[in-house]
Amino acid sequence: MQKDPSRIKVVVATDCGSTTTKAILIECVDGVYRQTHRAEAPTTVEAPFADVTLGVTNSVTELQELSGRRLVNDDGTILRRDSPEATEGCDLYISTSSAGGGLQMMVAGVVKEMTAESAKRAALGAGAIVMDTIASNDRRRPHEQVQRIRELRPDMVLISGGTDGGDTKKVTELAELIAPAKPRPRFGGEYSLPIIFAGNRDARPAIERTFAGGGFDLKIVDNLRPTLEREHLGPARETIHDVFLEHVMAHAPGYDQLISWADAPIMPTPGAVGDILQAIAKGRGINVVGVDIGGATTDVFSVFDGSFNRTVSANLGMSYSISNVCAEAGMESVLRWVHLDMDERELRNRVKNKMIRPTTIPQTHEALVFEQAVSREALRLAYVQHKAFATELKGVQQQRTVGDAFSQEEGGRSLVSGMKLDLLVASGGVLSHAPRMEQTASMLIDAFEPEGFTELAKDSIFMMPHLGVLATVHERAAMDVFERDCLVMLGTCIAPAGTPVAGKPVMRWSARWDGGSAEGTLMAQEMKLLRIGERALVEVVPERGFDVGAGPGVAVKREVRGGSVGLILDGRGRSLSVPDGAEGRRLVAAWAKALELHPD
């Protein structure tokens, strides 16, 4: 039953990860919701415990000890307040989960770039990992597709294809590949594999016939591409969440109990992160990019003009996938970010050492510089993949005028734009636990190359999943905590877009803040850091050919947010290029010095 938001004053939220269950306590203090305590305990979903609730109880017990507020009953369940005056228990308990590999899905569609891509977008947006995408034009022969389907062990399958009133033959053929292949679900034979059909409504009878009696649990929802001009992902995403709860979670050890404890549906962790970013983007009317870099994968989330996209770069990470990052980016690309005397052989040795001992963290200054260089490339590659995925719909009729004769742009343009980006949020070990905030800001700028004015922030304890679920129950509480406790503001980056010429100015600038002011000219390839405190009033006059958001050469005057780092002026131009050899090393060292990345 939905709780009355006005009666919610104390919230306990947990996020059950693969290794750690994190719990936070949110309390209403002087009318404002704040995150007051945080605790964690090992996740207990695997043997010998095989009960996720044990880890939840342990983490909430630690929370209870830290806060001095009783939150756990003697039987290990979460204690609820029985009256607003009670000083024990909580009003709301919510949880997310990515334990046991999270939600793993296979998607299928008729054309890879159209309905199959929409199906992938729906699955990723719901917080799933997409194991494979089957399409009629994926250049695999039917027997190869069947073989692949048999190899995978997904939690559920999403099938799309055909616009309403459109193709029925191809989408039925897809179903006819999947049904006889009988993909085995991850959670064993007793479990009927859920199939969600979100394709052409005319194909429903044929789909029902194909899956009848085959040990599948078929759910039919609205078409996610009713016309090629419109994408309608909501019903498919909601059904994925429902199936995740009813089938996947119910078959995971202890989750049936956890579901009964929670006051809101348990969500996949990435889905909850996506929800909070969408809520922030909508609430503040801004465009947001969020990134979570882990050991094996990197998740990138974006909300541009209200369109939400998420990608999982499965082979880009800082420990298990570090070798793949170096192979994909190339050693010279990694090495360009190293200002120390380090050759390729040494870099290879460090990569191999990290492969052998993936969970180690840097112990020396050189190791830290190396790891942050790799992270720049991992983030850059993940962002490139994200930009390629987060596009306008393909297969849509274009409207032209005679004026378009020499500028006919293709459909499917990327929605992600460095200039339109307002807020960049970082999370994940290498970003959150960098010894200096300046290093986090520098990694973000080098990898994402924001243009114009962009705020930089980090979610140091990865609280966004908790807040994503909280936003579904109590949006104001989620916003309060997000602004005050979740995000650590790093500062603002001002980066004129354009091609700099060595020795020539890029822009003139002036800034006024509480207790100080400064002005100057930013030269090509120069970086500058201003410690401006909370806020500053900045005026920027870009040179001809450079743009900070109002057009080439047009001045901009606006208030910017500072933070732990401050205001960063980036005169390196876009797109960013670092010269090879000694000159590049000298420049990178100069940037590191300007941003005070390694003051010791």
Other Cβ atoms within 10 Å of 256 Cβ, number: 13
410 binds another protein (CB under 8 A): yes
Minimum distance from residue 392 beta carbon to another protein (Å): 11
Minimum distance from residue 181 beta carbon to another protein (Å): 20
Closer residue to another protein, CB minimum distance, 201 or 512: 201
Residue of the chain from 100, 127, 154, 161 that contacts another protein (CB under 8 A): 161
b/e string for 467-493 if b means 16 or more Cβ within 10 A? Answer: bbbbbbbbbebbbbbbeebbbbbbbbb
437 binds another protein (CB under 8 A): no
Both tokens of 522, joined, read 């930013």
Q: 3-state DSSP call for residue 420? A: coil
State the DSSP H helix or E strand holding residue 507, giving kind and residue range, or none if neither. strand 505-513
Stretch that binds another protein, among 49-57, 58-66, 158-166, 359-367 (CB under 8 A): 158-166
Considering only residues 228 through 287, tell me which ones interact with another protein, judged by CB under 8 A: 228
Between strands 535-542 and 556-561, the pairing is antiparallel
> CA 489, CA 425: separation in Å to the nearest integer?
9
Residue of the chain from 42, 226, 235, 395 that contacts another protein (CB under 8 A): 395
115 binds another protein (CB under 8 A): yes
Stretch that binds another protein, among 111-119, 317-325, 457-465, 568-576 (CB under 8 A): 111-119
Per DSSP, the residues of 316-373 read --SSTTHHHHHHHH-HHHHHTT--SS--HHHHHHHHHHHHHSTT----SHHHHHHHHH
> CA 223, CA 117: separation in Å to the nearest integer?
13
Closer residue to another protein, CB minimum distance, 161 or 566: 161
> CA 30, CA 530: separation in Å to the nearest integer?
34
Residue of the chain from 225, 339, 572, 598 that contacts another protein (CB under 8 A): 225
Q: What is the DSSP letter of 547?
A: B
> CA 117, CA 112: separation in Å to the nearest integer?
6
Closer residue to another protein, CB minimum distance, 114 or 467: 114
Residue of the chain from 408, 515, 544, 599 that contacts another protein (CB under 8 A): 408
392 binds another protein (CB under 8 A): no
Picking from 551, 543, 532, the residue whose alpha carbon sits closest to that of residue 493 is 532
Minimum distance from residue 140 beta carbon to another protein (Å): 12
Other Cβ atoms within 10 Å of 145 Cβ, number: 20
Closer residue to another protein, CB minimum distance, 165 or 551: 165
User: How many CA atoms, within 13 angstroms, populate the side-chain half-sphere of residue 558?
Assistant: 15
143 binds another protein (CB under 8 A): no
Minimum distance from residue 360 beta carbon to another protein (Å): 45
> CA 215, CA 378: separation in Å to the nearest integer?
41
412 binds another protein (CB under 8 A): yes
Other Cβ atoms within 10 Å of 349 Cβ, number: 12
Residue holding tokens 């989620």?
A: 478
Closer residue to another protein, CB minimum distance, 166 or 183: 166
391 binds another protein (CB under 8 A): no
Picking from 531, 532, 525, the residue whose alpha carbon sits closest to that of residue 590 is 525
Minimum distance from residue 410 beta carbon to another protein (Å): 5
- By the 8 A CB rule, do 547 and 498 touch? yes
Query: Alpha helices, DSSP H only, in 361-428?
Result: 365-389
411 binds another protein (CB under 8 A): yes
- By the 8 A CB rule, do 577 and 501 touch? no
Residues in CB range of 178: below 8 A, 6 or more apart:
108, 134, 149, 157, 159, 195
394 binds another protein (CB under 8 A): yes
Minimum distance from residue 577 beta carbon to another protein (Å): 19
113 binds another protein (CB under 8 A): yes
Considering only residues 473 through 532, tell me which ones interact with another protein, judged by CB under 8 A: none
Closer residue to another protein, CB minimum distance, 58 or 115: 115
Considering only residues 558 through 597, tell me which ones interact with another protein, judged by CB under 8 A: none
- Could you give the C-alpha distances from 509 to 102, 501, 516, 569, 590, in angstroms and in order? 47, 18, 14, 9, 20
Which residues does residue 302 pair with via DSSP β-bridges, in sequence order? 289, 309
402 binds another protein (CB under 8 A): yes
Closer residue to another protein, CB minimum distance, 171 or 262: 171
134 binds another protein (CB under 8 A): no
122 binds another protein (CB under 8 A): no
Which residues does residue 39 pair with via DSSP β-bridges, in sequence order? 23
Residue span 171-210 as binding mask against another protein, x where in contact by CB under 8 A, dash where not: ----------------------------------------
114 binds another protein (CB under 8 A): yes
Closer residue to another protein, CB minimum distance, 165 or 234: 165
137 binds another protein (CB under 8 A): yes
Closer residue to another protein, CB minimum distance, 96 or 223: 223
Closer residue to another protein, CB minimum distance, 363 or 397: 397
409 binds another protein (CB under 8 A): yes
For another protein (CB under 8 A), the number of binding residues is 33
- Binding residues (CB under 8 A) for another protein: these are 110-111, 113-115, 136-137, 161-163, 165-170, 225, 228, 394-395, 397-398, 400-402, 404-406, 408-412
